Structure 1
Amino acid sequence: MNKKYTIKDIAEIAGVSKGTVDRVLHKRGKVSKTALEKVNTVLDRIDYRPNLIARNLKNTKIFNICVLLPNPKIDIYWEGCIDGINDAIEEFISFNIAVTIYFFNPTNTNSFIENNEEILKTSPDAVLIAPLFYKEAVEIVKNYNALGIISVTFNNYLKSNAIKSFVGQDLFQSGKVAGRLLEILVKKGLIAILHIDEDYENAIYVQEKEKGFRAYFNQVNNTNYTIKTCSLQHPNFKRSFYEFIEAHPNLAGIFVTTSKAFQVAEITSKLDKKIALVGYDLLKSNLNYLKSFDIDFLIHQNPKRQAYLGVVHLIEYFIFDKEIPTKKLLPIDIINSENANNYI
């Protein structure tokens, strides 16, 4: 059996004090360059691995992680995130980790800013954030970084050097997948890219999906297709959408860039002609229309898994010194009526 080396053993082999070895192992206090080299040489030779679990259990510090996500009572898509976060908490319940969830109104920028201010008051060690509002999120993450608070984003990619990690999908590629699906379904005519209740200029995640979608059709080089973007808002969504349909009799397909395809299917299912429909996420309302073939395909973004991994990466960083991956991309799963039950 391999010998289990103690700090005393390492100190004797290196010819230094136990205190010096302790300072090297825990990266605290001053150590001379010569002593550091001696200790590291011994550590490399014996392949020393500290018992991180035991060390953490003895550690009295509680690591505080705050999670900021849209209120699922306003947008049900985010409900799965809570399940993922709770799974992570349960998995690491024996460790000194505290996870607190904050909810903001996904239609209100001020709510996003105010909740971040509340988080700052708690002086957390790390924040997991769904950055719906791009401009505001960039500034907020800069503030966290300046204060030594680790920032991890999920679901929506935020381009910033202040972010430690991103968990989610390649949204550009996701848009290309949606394009391929609609090319299969539609042979010619108008295909609409539909953004519902989005501040398009400040919502990079839907911009990336649209860019990917258009990029796919640009490479197809087929003049039988016309691509048009339409942004609609509640409470006038139904009226505006009916007007759009009437103004475009050649409408053959729709790509909904968020989880609200069911709101479109509610209308298109009552029309005399079939309009192909591709959207996102396994909401119950979406699944009902998927099973009735009024929605043709759904792209599964797996918000539960995204939130779970975001929290777990932070926990493992604090208790196991495990490096946080810069980017964790989840698969782009294509769901239809035949395989939907496997994902529920």
Structure 2
Amino acid sequence: MAEEQGKKHFGIKDIAKLAGVSIATVDRVLNNRKDVSDSTREKVLAIIKENNYQPNLFARSLSVKNNLNVAVLIPKTSFQTGYWQLCLDGINKGKEELEPFGIHTHIFLYDQEKRATFKKAAAEVLKQNFSAVVIAPIFEKETQEFVSDCHKRKMQTVYINSDIPSKSTLGYIGPDLYSTGRLAGNLTSYLVQPHAKILVLNVAKGLENYRYLETKIEGFQEYLGQVDPTIKIDIVDIPYNEYEQIELELKASIKRYNPDLIFFTNSRVAVLGRFYTEHPRMKKPKIIGFDFLGSNVDYLASGVVDFLICQRPDKQGYFALNYLYRYFLKRESFEGYKPMPIDILTKENYLFYEN
């Protein structure tokens, strides 16, 4: 009991005494400052670990409560897909959990088909005194300019959903896009025979902004090229959102390529499910698409879509805010990015899955 009582009140003064250093030195270690020798840092961290010391996060939050505001800049959801709504759900969950710690989250939405809306939302963010910004970078050039302005203002940045060459200060949280492509290639290799014909479909208005799709396709092509060079891969862009226009393009492309498998590169694979449902006389190939959305799952359940690769958009948004909580309050340091798990769903296991 005495031991438990001692542990309960174990604090910075006790750490300093055991390590033979000043309280200021312990504080520098806890805040990950560089002006501490490696040997001293290791000694202090060892004592912290041995005694299971936990900083008083509520006390620490009081010091930032009035000046720690976080912005989130992501696309608004659209009638074509609920992908960004899932991301927003995760952000709202994190927002609610972090409010008691003095981290206040402000959400700014833009239209992923209109650059001007991104620039307007980004300008609104820059007008305010934010400590950090979570960004979904659809428009590469505009994002690079915005991030540069953020860094000039000492605002931390973190990317979600896709990465771009202009690096954020706290890295990227999301799927390893190249690996998702390779995973799709791996699934494909089990579904088709040598000399099979594969059709890669990119379907969305403003495809020139979806650079991350190219990364997926690179991984897909490389994997299959290594496994079976006889497999023929064709890529078709359908730059529309309206189903009637997509339907016409699908008819022409499927008639031309007669694919054994279709790799649908984004979360709108439900349009392909609808197409084959409405055209039952057409030979349906194997279909691989992305994301655990209700419309996609319906076609997975009916057997029209064979596999869904899930990238957990809700967890991306939630983890991004948790990332900032750990950075600002727990004083943890981060490098690179946090890849999300890549999940595979089929007709047999989708009932046991949730975002």
- Band the TM-score falls in, shorter-chain normalisation: 0.7 to 0.9
Distance 1:222 1:45 in 2: 53
Opposite residue 205 of structure 1, the aligned amino acid is Y
Q: Which residue of 1 aligns with 2:226?
A: 219
Deviation at 1:10, TM superposition (A): 5.5
Distance 2:224 2:249 in 1: 26
Deviation at 1:161, TM superposition (A): 3.6
For residue 123 of structure 1, give the secondary structure of its aligned residue in structure 2: coil
Q: Which residue of 1 aligns with 2:71?
A: 66
Distance 2:45 2:340 in 1: 38
2:142 alignment partner, one of 136, 139, 149: 136
TM-score (ref. length: structure 1) = 0.86
CA contact (8 A) 2:68 2:103 kept: yes
CA contact (8 A) 1:142 1:162 kept: no
| Structure 1 pair 221–24 and aligned structure 2 pair: CA distance change class (3 A) | closer
| Equivalenced residues, count | 329
Distance 2:293 2:157 in 1: 28
Deviation at 1:296, TM superposition (A): 0.4
Show CA shifts across 1:191-228 (max 9, x none).
111111154444221010010111011102342x2111
* Structural mapping, 1:255-274, within 5 Å: 255-269=263-277, 270-272=279-281, 273-274=283-284
CA contact (8 A) 1:135 1:202 kept: no
Q: Which residue of 2 aligns with 1:300?
A: 310
Deviation at 1:181, TM superposition (A): 1.6
Distance 2:14 2:342 in 1: 51
Residues 314-323 or 122-131, more deviating: 314-323
* Structural mapping, 1:286-325, within 5 Å: 286-325=296-335
| Structure 1 pair 163–305 and aligned structure 2 pair: CA distance change class (3 A) | same
Q: Which residue of 1 aligns with 2:32?
A: none
For residue 94 of structure 1, give the secondary structure of its aligned residue in structure 2: helix
| Structure 1 pair 220–120 and aligned structure 2 pair: CA distance change class (3 A) | same
2:247 alignment partner, one of 218, 225, 238: 238
| Structure 1 pair 45–157 and aligned structure 2 pair: CA distance change class (3 A) | closer
Opposite residue 296 of structure 1, the aligned amino acid is D
2:292 alignment partner, one of 274, 282, 289: 282
CA contact (8 A) 2:288 2:305 kept: yes
For residue 337 of structure 1, give the secondary structure of its aligned residue in structure 2: coil
CA contact (8 A) 2:12 2:26 kept: no
Distance 1:181 1:15 in 2: 57
Confirm or deny that 1:113 pairs with 2:95.
no
CA contact (8 A) 2:206 2:239 kept: no
| Structure 1 pair 161–285 and aligned structure 2 pair: CA distance change class (3 A) | closer
Percent identity of paired positions between Structure 1 and Structure 2: 28
Opposite residue 240 of structure 1, the aligned amino acid is E
Gaps of 5+ in 2: 30-34
| Structure 1 pair 282–51 and aligned structure 2 pair: CA distance change class (3 A) | closer
Q: Which residue of 1 aligns with 2:44?
A: 44
1:340 alignment partner, one of 325, 329, 350: 350
Show CA shifts across 1:269-327 (max 9, x none).
32421211100001111101001111000001100111110110101211221223531
Gaps of 5+ in 1: 28-32
Deviation at 1:57, TM superposition (A): 4.2
